[in-house]
Amino acid sequence: MRTPSRQIPKFLENKANLPTRWFFGVIFIGWFLTVLIAYPIITAILMGLVGISIFIENRRRKKLAQSRPAESICTFARSFDRHNMDSHVVRAVYEEVTKQICGAVEFPLRVDDQLFDSKGLNLDPDDLDEILIAAAYRANKSIEHTEHNPYYGKVNTVADLVSFLMAQPTNIKTNTLSS
């Protein structure tokens, strides 16, 4: 019997490169403090502009979420043909895109939400790789040979991302028995 989609595993980030992250984090903080001391006015202006843009984007996303009060993962999943859909892929994409947009807070996605449009979800194209890797892991889909996928290079909406992952082959988990 197949596991219900609500019980698919969470994606755990690889913590093996933690020392490397700390190293580059310390270098970045040192560089930032050097720039702050050398150019305090310019740094303050740039930090203010970044803060304002983050505030505006968060407010825009909050208004977008408030315009969809009764929507959830259920309404998102019902947007797909239930006979030709993998519920694990749908849930994994929904949860990973939501996590990328606003962390732990659930954001009501629609299948026609534009991933990269400034009036849509406004994701960075580099974020798509992170979402794809995490969703593929959770839905037990392979991320090898994606260039052979008919949706390769055509992912613009959340529905395209679901279709892309559904077109990927399932990971074959081999169980080796020791003799």
The CA distance from 162 to 169, in Å, is 13
Structure confidence at residue 97 (pLDDT): 92
Query: Average pLDDT over the chain, rounded to whole?
Result: 86
The CA distance from 39 to 44, in Å, is 9
Residues in the chain: 179
Percent of the chain past pLDDT 70, that is, above it, reads 88
CB atoms within 10 A of CB 134: 21
Residues 6 or more apart whose CB falls under 8 angstroms from that of 127 comprise 100
The pLDDT-based confidence of 174 (bands split at 50, 70, 90) is very low
Structure confidence at residue 118 (pLDDT): 86
pLDDT digits (tens, 9 = 90+) for 66-95: 898 889 888 999 998 888 888 899 999 999
**For residues 137-149, average pLDDT:** 90
Burial class (CB in 10 A: 0-12, 13-18, 19+), 164: buried
Structure confidence at residue 14 (pLDDT): 62
Per-residue tokens: 147: 């260039």
Residue with tokens 């969703």: 135
Structure confidence at residue 58 (pLDDT): 87
CB atoms within 10 A of CB 173: 6
**For residues 146-172, average pLDDT:** 91
Residue with tokens 């194209």: 125
pLDDT digits (tens, 9 = 90+) for 7-46: 677 766 666 677 888 899 999 999 999 999 999 999 999 9
Residues 6 or more apart whose CB falls under 8 angstroms from that of 75 comprise 108
31's enclosing H/E stretch is helix 18-38
* Global pTM value: 0.78
**For residues 44-54, average pLDDT:** 95
Per-residue tokens: 47: 């930090």
Structure confidence at residue 173 (pLDDT): 61
